[in-house]
Amino acid sequence: MQQQIEFVLNGTPRRLPPGTPPTMTLLDWLRAQGLTGTKEGCAEGDCGACTVVLEEAEGARTPINACLCALGQLHGRALRSIEGLGPQHPLPRILAESDGTQCGFCTPGIVMSAWAHTREGGDPHEALAGNLCRCTGYRPILDALARMEDDGAPPPALPPRASARFGGFHLPATLAEALALRAAHPAAWLLMGGTDLGLRLSEHRERPEEVICLLNVAEMQGIGAGPSGWRIGAAAPYRALLSLCRAEPALAPLAPFFARLGSRQIRGLGTVAGNLGTASPIGDSLPVLIALGAEVELARPGGTRRLPVEAFLTGYRRTALAEDELILAVHLPRPPAGAFLAAEKLSRRHDQDISAVSLAACIEMEGGVVRAARLAFGGMDARARRCLPAEAALVGRPLDDAALRAAGKALDFAPMSDWRGSAAYRLEAARGLLRRLALRHAGLAAEVFA
């Protein structure tokens, strides 16, 4: 099944020559083709100078960071770079007329984020969270965004996703194929969105011999709803999860939290499964999954098993995933009716920054006092985990400042110190996040803490 990588670039089908390295980043490849409008600023997903847009079959436009994306991931997809807008396109002109560009280095990335935004809509600040500009200041860029309109370009016709292989880069389309590949290549990278692993390609210039890219596995697609909750397929990007939180009243308190996970570019490809696979103590989705009592579904040849996320995370970047297993889905239970749900995050920057400390809470009230509480923290231990003494300190009390101070005193963490925060800072910050819950519960925090 040895094949050539094919995708639609700027409306034109491209078939890459045999031997094109499938783990070469899209950014390096574009620039080697002379498409140098796409810039390299940081090579780690932060600056957005490399932003290009995935054109989805249904017309959606997903901005992504070309510096984090391996060529093999793009097989069968359609993408547009700044050159694909053409010289007469109004967006760059509007940006220039609004004084939204000076040195111009960030400009192609900002135009591509804007091009996606004109189709996708939503908060313009959110649309720019993944694009840094050192010269202009964001006011004129936001002014320009307000004047821009969807150009109405139709979605591309795309073939159904099929299995493919490019040397050691495998792109299975079914779970059975993926599991067989996992058994045959136990040392292969398991690549999903690549917003963690892509750093090893881009920044560290690693070139793995074998990669199993799971993005196309049919059984891992989409988010499904059932009476007891939601099944989040392992390949469903954060973008889809954020849409779910915005559409589903029971999950609405989580929407502002997930809107701060990375940027639109990161959320376009990054997944909850990847957050679980990395198992970082500061992975932002993990406390939320734990507080809600989510389970991870693992597939192995011959069957599946489900584990609570708490049991799946076994230590610092360690999980219970066995050598022959893959993460198939995450099952998110519907929060108990009337439960108070909150997710809080402290990071050095409001956007596009993983947290130093985070807290997710699911608290059931009865007769004005706490009946049951689940409090899960990130950044406080080797893995995200609950704090049972703090939960116990809340039970039977009103959810007020005094109760949350008591919970803060009961924290049983000895956090690490690193450049994101000292141990002492983390403890204080966690106590502060707990006290924020009282404000949220009283409906007072919405404007203070976005």
22 binds ligand FAD (CB under 6 A): no
Take residue 379 and report the two structure tokens written for it. Answer: 């950044």
Name which of ligand FAD, ligand FES, none residue 390 binds, using a CB cut-off of 5 to 8 Å depending on partner kind.
none
Read out DSSP for 237-289?
Answer: BHHHHHHHHHH-GGGGGGHHHHTTSS-HHHHHH-BHHHHHHHT-TT-THHHHH
Name which of ligand FAD, ligand FES, none residue 335 binds, using a CB cut-off of 5 to 8 Å depending on partner kind.
none
* Nearest to ligand FES of 15, 139 (CB atom): 139
* Nearest to ligand FES of 196, 219 (CB atom): 196
326 binds ligand FAD (CB under 6 A): yes
109 binds ligand FAD (CB under 6 A): no
Residues that bind ligand FES (CB under 6 A): 40-43, 45-50, 65, 67, 101-107, 133-136
Q: Which of residues 32-51 bind ligand FAD (CB under 6 A)?
A: 44-46
Applying CB under 6 A, which of residues 271, 290, 343, 426 lies at the interface with ligand FAD? 271
Distance CA 79, CA 257 (A): 28
- Which residues touch 377 (CB under 8 Å, ≥6 apart)? 287, 357, 358, 359, 384, 385, 386, 387, 413, 430
The site for ligand FAD, by CB under 6 A, has a size of 33
Name which of ligand FAD, ligand FES, none residue 211 binds, using a CB cut-off of 5 to 8 Å depending on partner kind.
none
Name which of ligand FES, ligand FAD, none residue 49 binds, using a CB cut-off of 5 to 8 Å depending on partner kind.
ligand FES
Take residue 209 and report the two structure tokens written for it. Answer: 């011999």
* Nearest to ligand FES of 91, 407 (CB atom): 91
Please tell me what DSSP assigns to residue 215.
Answer: T
Q: Which of 195, 204, 213 is nearest to 265 (CA)?
A: 195
- Which residues touch 265 (CB under 8 Å, ≥6 apart)? 45, 48, 51, 63, 64, 65, 113, 130
The strand pairing partners of 111, in sequence order, are none
Distance CA 389, CA 375 (A): 10
Name which of ligand FES, ligand FAD, none residue 270 binds, using a CB cut-off of 5 to 8 Å depending on partner kind.
ligand FAD
Take residue 343 and report the two structure tokens written for it. Answer: 């997710």
275 binds ligand FAD (CB under 6 A): yes
Take residue 99 and report the two structure tokens written for it. Answer: 């004084």
CB 27 within 8 A of CB 232: no
Name which of ligand FES, ligand FAD, none residue 41 binds, using a CB cut-off of 5 to 8 Å depending on partner kind.
ligand FES
Q: Half-sphere exposure of 286 toward its Cβ, with a 13 Å CA cutoff? A: 34
Closest contact distance (angstroms) between CB of 19 and ligand FAD is: 24
* Nearest to ligand FAD of 4, 278 (CB atom): 278
Element (H or E) spanning 52, and its range? strand 51-55
Which SS3 state, helix, strand or coil, does residue 395 take?
strand
Applying CB under 6 A, which of residues 100, 283, 335, 379 lies at the interface with ligand FAD? 283
Closest contact distance (angstroms) between CB of 71 and ligand FAD is: 15
**How many Å is the maximal CA-CA distance in the chain?**
68
Applying CB under 6 A, which of residues 108, 262, 268, 293 lies at the interface with ligand FAD? 262
Name which of ligand FES, ligand FAD, none residue 133 binds, using a CB cut-off of 5 to 8 Å depending on partner kind.
ligand FES
327 binds ligand FAD (CB under 6 A): yes
* Nearest to ligand FES of 90, 104 (CB atom): 104
Closest contact distance (angstroms) between CB of 310 and ligand FAD is: 17
Sheet order of strands, 229-233 included: 223-226, 229-233, 326-333, 295-300, 303-308
Q: Which of residues 175-214 bind ligand FAD (CB under 6 A)?
A: 189-197, 214
* Nearest to ligand FAD of 128, 438 (CB atom): 128
Give alpha helix (H) positions in 121-227: 124-128, 138-147, 175-184, 197-202
Take residue 223 and report the two structure tokens written for it. Answer: 């988010």
Closest contact distance (angstroms) between CB of 299 and ligand FAD is: 9
Q: Rule CB under 6 A: which residues touch ligand FAD?
A: 44-46, 189-197, 214, 234, 261-262, 266, 269-271, 273-275, 277-278, 283-284, 321, 326-327, 352-354
